[in-house]
Chain A
Amino acid sequence: MDRTRILVVDDNPTIRKGLSVRLRANGYEVLFAEDAISATAALVTERPDLVILDLGLPCGDGFVVMERLHKNDSLANIPVIVLTGRELAGNRERALQAGAAAVFQKPVEDGNLLFAVRKALDNSRGELRFDD
Chain B
Amino acid sequence: MTEPTRRTSELAALSHELRNALACIHQFGNILIDGLAGELSGEQREYIGIMLENASKIRRVLDSALDGAPEPIEKCLNKIERASGRET
Contacts and interface: CB of A to CB of B under 8 A. Distances in A.
Contacts of A120: 80
Contact of B80 (A85, A87, A116, A130): A116
A21 B24 CA distance: 12
B80 A119 contact: yes
Contacts of A19: 27
A103 interface: yes
Given A107-B27, A128-B86, A116 B15 contact: no
A91 B68 CA distance: 14
Contacts of B16: 56, 85-86
Interface of A is mostly: mixed
B28 interface: yes
B79 to A, nearest CB: 5
Contact of A102 (B26, B31, B66, B80): B80
Interface string B37-78: 100000000000000000100010000001110110100111
A14 interface: yes
Interface residues of A, number: 36
Contacts of B37: 21
Contacts of B26: 107
Which range contains the number of B residues in contact with the other chain? 35 or more
Contacts of B20: 12, 15, 85, 106
Given A18-B31, A21-B36, A87-B67, A106 B19 contact: yes
Contacts of A112: 73, 76
B71 A15 contact: no
13 contacts: A18-B23, A86-B12, A86-B15, A86-B16, A87-B15, A101-B77, A107-B25, A107-B55, A108-B23, A119-B77, A123-B83, A130-B88, A132-B88
Interface of A: 12, 14-15, 18-19, 21-22, 25, 56, 85-89, 92, 96, 100-108, 110, 112, 115-116, 119-120, 123, 128-130, 132
